[in-house]
Amino acid sequence: MLGGLNGSAQEQKPTDRQQDPGPAVRIETELVQIDVVVEDEKGQLVRNLKREDFQLTEDGKVQSLSYFSVGTASRPARWLKGDRTAVPASGGTATESVIDTGRYLVLAIDDLHLSPGSLLTAKQALQRFIDQQISTSDQTSLITTSGTLGLYQQFTNERDLLRRAVSRLSVRERVVTSSSDIPRITPYQAEMIDSNDPDSLELAVQETMAALRVDRRMATGMAQGRARQIVAENNSVTMATLSTLENVIRGLRNLPGRKVLVLVSDGFLLGGLREGRHYDVRRITDVATRAGVVIYSLDARGLVALPGEMDASQPGAGGLIMPGVRSRLANGGIEAQRDGIYALAADTGGKAIFNNNDINLGLQKVLDDTEVYYLLAFEPTTSYRDGRYRKLEVKLPGYPKYKVRTRKGYFSPDDKQLAKIEREQAKLLEMARNSPKEAVKLRDQQLRTGLSALTPVRDIAIGMTAGYLDTRDEGTSIDLSAHIDISGIEFRNEGDRHRAQLELVSIIFDENGRTVDNRSEKMELNLRNESLAEARRNGLGYRRLLKLKPGFYQARLLLRQEGTLRIGTANTWIEIPDLARQQFALSSIFLTPSDPRTEKGGLVNEDGQGSSNRALVYRRFPHQGNLDFLVFAYNAKIGENGLPDAAIQTQLYAGSRLIYASPLGAFFTPDKRQEIDPARLPYRARLDLSAFEPGSYELRVVVIDRVARSTIKRSINFEVER
């Protein structure tokens, strides 16, 4: 149901806090934004550069910078909103032109190329990285190049969810070559044979002749045929890896700010892919530039020892035939595998980390490298708009010894392709308006696109939160709340009325991706002028209560406006324990604007409008305000005095650092013993936020059942605003 038009009066868009900087220049469609990292002669990050220190060229032509900003890990650069942006002529910050944003971190696990040993090491390092190094302000996504993580690939700042995703990583078995093959051709040797390298072919021919007692002509044909097969198989797997990376990066384009993708891999061979015979690797550079993504490559093998190909005990006679050539090919293969992941990092302004046996240390180096960067934006002086690749170069004329790392280039917009897309979209809408069948097809397409996206779709901004609790009347219930920003909705004006038709689809998936609940609700907005103004200020609230069996679930919302292509999506995870097992358990932590009460299994505020308040959905609270929260303990054991003995401590973390811990307190007071229900113990508390600096925090609630000697915890992230 749509709640009242309530919201947080303290909530402001970042632009609401800015002052008008003066005249603006309108940049229409070709704004290019790139982030730049600068190192001095010692490899240390340079922090004090100014706009005038940079010179940027496109295809050798100097470009005028339209915008400049400096970013750090604690204070990110302010990115321009997108293509149609007002930028001050002075290069400052324009009203409604820039946004504050945190860091988005994609951990891309190349399970198509990781060995079992490398994957095990990577999983251990990722668990430590999540526990010790990721900040609560970081939005992190864990993806695999095989695409097997499914629901777990969405961004989150919940550590428990990331740990769960890491635990599900597994090796994707693929057999391209084997030590028992005759001839024993490595993938790199196969590429060299395919490239007409005589030594590589001769090695395979001699091994075949010696092992199978065939003549040279037959041995040559066998070696060349096997090499072509290996090259084709490797190209197929590598193309799958590159295509996954391209699609993931492309999906990040609508996210504001700086995005970092860390590729953890044993490496792969580009081979013919380098020349674009099968796949143009520059496509990844292009989409990374457009999406603001920097790639860091991490060789999961660490310091690679002498290859096993030199071991004469291996099956076949290969180890004793042309050992010098085999050694050269083995070492060349190691470098060639690294060359692929190095190219992705170098061409997007990132860094490749090799010969490091501590993956966790490598991940820390990535975070350190993002500590300070510079954001440059320009509008090309010449608008070709032909879809061709444009080479970018950034220099520091006053600092010739400094090293600049940034993107190598991008593909310019293609007017023909853009016009084709616009025609196709207009045709889709026209067909949907005139045909109920086509309208259903368009709706289904929007659902597939929105619900499968790695990142939330923000044509219509929607936020969501979910919590679980158990009540006497309703049992275990999920309280699903959402906030809708109507600025992305197109209204039809009819006199003093403003109308729009919406559809809100809510789908609940279990941990294995099966749909366990699917609901669609039609919403007809019919607002007077004053109601529309209030809705624009506060947004619309939505709330739904539903029952689910114990388990781990993902809830997804998709909001679409009828008659348009506009959609918005949001998702969240919720875990429901099995209370029937009579084990000590906790409800979710419910953040509330005031003392809450329960009604029909869900939380409502004092005004009865439900937890649709924008501050609660987005968990953003003013610095001078309070954070009130509610939690229930279930199935507490009864002590010898006939009462439960449950104690609770509130902890507050900034990143992985504990900054506050309350004294250990009881769940109830002795004067209210007659009201105690050991099956459901409520606890309410208030946290004075004025004692904490603005920023992102994690609230942890640790509860001890002293009778059962059991300890459990819940956590939730929130933000204190300036």
pLDDT tens by residue, 271-295: 655 554 556 777 888 888 778 788 9
What local confidence, expressed as pLDDT, does residue 320 receive? 67
What local confidence, expressed as pLDDT, does residue 667 receive? 78
Confidence of residue 186 (pLDDT cuts 50, 70, 90): confident
| Residues near 616 by beta carbon (within 8 Å), at least 6 away in sequence | 465, 481, 591, 592, 593
- Give the residues across from 72 on adjacent strands: 372
Handedness of CA 234, 237, 242, 243 (dihedral sign): positive
Cα(406)–Cα(397) distance, rounded to whole angstroms? 16
More confidently predicted of 713 and 385: 713
Q: What is the DSSP letter of 316?
A: S
Share of the chain above pLDDT 90, in %: 22
What local confidence, expressed as pLDDT, does residue 138 receive? 80
Range of 100-104, 106-110, 351-355, 643-647 with top mean pLDDT? 106-110
pLDDT, one tens digit per residue, over 596-638 is 333 333 323 333 343 346 778 888 888 888 889 999 999 989 8
**Per-residue tokens: 437:** 């069948």
More confidently predicted of 677 and 466: 466
Number of Cβ within 10 Å of residue 673's Cβ equals 11
8 A C-beta contact, residue 509 and residue 515? yes
88 has pLDDT over 60: no
What local confidence, expressed as pLDDT, does residue 670 receive? 55
Q: What is the DSSP letter of 675?
A: G
Report the pLDDT averaged over residues 5-24.
32
More confidently predicted of 614 and 524: 524
DSSP-derived pairing of the beta strands 259-265 and 104-109: parallel
Q: Which domains does the chain have, with CATH numbers?
A: 19-99+371-413 (no CATH), 104-173+234-369 (3.40.50.410), 619-722 (2.60.40.3880)
Report CA-CA distances (Å) from 59 to 63, 390, 411. Answer: 10, 6, 12
For every residue of 133-166, DSSP letters joined together read T--TT-EEEEEETT-TTGGGGS-B--HHHHHHHH
56 has pLDDT over 90: yes
- Report the amino acid identity of residue 629: F
Helix (H) or strand (E) holding 522: strand 515-528
What local confidence, expressed as pLDDT, does residue 400 receive? 92
pLDDT, one tens digit per residue, over 555-602 is 999 999 988 888 999 988 888 889 888 899 999 999 875 433 333 333
Report the SS3 class of residue 610: coil
What local confidence, expressed as pLDDT, does residue 501 receive? 92
Report the SS3 class of residue 75: coil
pLDDT, one tens digit per residue, over 455-469 is 788 889 899 999 888
What local confidence, expressed as pLDDT, does residue 304 receive? 64
Confidence of residue 2 (pLDDT cuts 50, 70, 90): very low
For every residue of 465-508, DSSP letters joined together read EEEEEEETTTEEEEEEEEEE-GGGPPPEEETTEEEEEEEEEEEE
Report the pLDDT averaged over residues 666-684.
72
Confidence of residue 176 (pLDDT cuts 50, 70, 90): low
650 has pLDDT over 90: yes
Confidence of residue 139 (pLDDT cuts 50, 70, 90): confident
158 has pLDDT over 80: yes
Arithmetic mean of pLDDT over the chain: 80
